[in-house]
C-alpha cells in the first residue's frame, strides 16, 4: 500500500523511537538513574530528533524484514482456517501485490470513509508492531549494556539479578503488544482478503461482459 509521510507518522515513529530509548535507559541505568539525570533544552531536542530517526529505522526494518515473516504466518493461518479467502498462489508475487493495491485504490475512491477506517486500522496494527520491536530491542540492548551484565554478555544476561525485574516487565510489555498486533492483523487480513476476492470477482465479471459485447 502506498503511503505518504504525515505529521501523524512522525509522531508514531517518534513514539516507537522514544519507547526504544526509554527501554534502553531503564534496563541500563534503572529507574533511579533515569530520573536523576537532568536534561536541558538542547539535549531534549536532540533526544526527540534521535527518537524519530530510531523509530523510522525500526519501522523500516519492520516493513522490509520482520513483517514479511509475520505476514507469512498470518497468511498460512488464514489459508488453513478460511481456504475460500485464499488469494491465487500460481500468480507471481508482484502481480498479486498490484491487484491488492489496485483494489484498495478503487475502494479508496469509491468508498473513502470505509477504506479510511481500514487504513487507520492497519496503521494502528503496524504501530503496535513497531512499539513491540522497539521496546523489546531496547530492553535487550539496555540489559546487555547494564553494569551488572556488561562483560559477562549472555551468561550474565540471564544470571544477574540487578535489573532483571525491569527487563522482564518491559519484555512482557513488548510481547503483549506483539500478540495484540498479531491478533488484530489476523482479523484485519481476513476482512481485507474477503474484500479483495469480492472486488476481483466483480472486476473479472465486468471484463468478461465487456469482452462479450
- pLDDT at residue number 210: 39
Q: Which residue do the cell numbers 516487565 mark? A: 169
- Answer with the residue of higher pLDDT: 26 or 197: 26
Banded pLDDT at 1 (limits 50, 70, 90) = very low
- Answer with the residue of higher pLDDT: 69 or 4: 69
pTM of the model: 0.82
- pLDDT at residue number 91: 65
138, 153 contact by CB (below 8 A): no
pLDDT at position 99 over 90:
no
Tally of CA atoms within 13 A in the half-sphere of 94 that contains its CB: 0
Banded pLDDT at 199 (limits 50, 70, 90) = confident
Banded pLDDT at 35 (limits 50, 70, 90) = low
- Average pLDDT over every residue of 110-125: 88
Question: To the nearest 10°, the Cα dihedral for 63, 135, 8, 114?
Answer: 60
- pLDDT at residue number 33: 56
- pLDDT at residue number 2: 40
pLDDT digits 0-9 by tens, 41-96? 667 778 888 888 898 899 989 988 999 899 989 989 998 998 888 877 666 667 77
For residue 193, give Cα distances in angstroms to 3, 74, 85, 89, 104: 20, 12, 6, 13, 11
Taking every pair of C-alpha atoms in the chain, what is the biggest distance, in angstroms?
77
Using alpha carbons, select from 18, 45, 53, 75 the residue that is nearest to residue 196: 75
pLDDT digits 0-9 by tens, 142-194? 888 888 787 666 677 777 778 888 899 999 999 999 999 999 999 999 998 88
Amino acid at each position: 500500500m502506498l503511503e505518504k509521510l504525515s505529521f501523524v507518522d512522525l509522531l508514531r515513529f517518534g513514539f516507537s523511537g522514544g519507547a526504544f530509548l526509554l527501554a534502553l535507559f531503564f534496563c541500563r541505568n534503572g529507574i533511579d538513574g533515569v530520573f536523576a539525570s537532568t536534561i536541558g533544552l538542547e539535549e531534549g531536542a536532540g533526544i526527540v530528533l534521535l527518537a524519530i530517526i530510531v523509530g523510522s529505522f525500526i519501522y523500516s526494518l519492520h516493513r522490509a524484514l520482520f513483517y514479511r515473516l509475520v505476514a507469512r504466518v498470518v497468511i498460512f493461518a488464514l489459508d488453513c482456517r478460511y481456504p475460500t479467502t485464499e488469494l491465487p498462489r500460481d500468480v507471481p508475487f508482484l502481480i498479486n501485490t498490484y491487484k491488492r493495491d489496485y483494489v484498495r485504490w478503487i475502494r479508496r475512491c469509491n468508498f473513502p470513509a470505509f477504506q479510511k477506517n481500514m487504513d487507520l486500522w492497519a496503521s494502528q496494527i503496524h504501530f503496535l508492531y513497531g512499539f513491540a520491536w522497539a521496546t523489546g530491542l531496547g530492553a535487550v540492548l539496555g540489559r546487555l549494556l547494564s553494569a551488572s551484565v556488561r562483560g559477562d554478555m549472555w551468561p550474565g544476561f540471564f544470571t544477574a539479578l540487578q535489573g532483571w525485574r525491569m527487563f522482564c516487565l518491559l519484555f512482557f510489555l513488548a510481547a503483549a503488544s506483539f500478540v495484540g498486533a498479531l491478533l488484530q492483523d489476523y482479523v484485519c487480513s481476513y476482512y481485507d482478503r474477503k474484500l479483495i476476492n469480492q472486488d476481483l470477482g466483480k472486476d473479472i465479471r465486468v471484463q468478461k461482459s465487456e469482452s462479450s459485447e
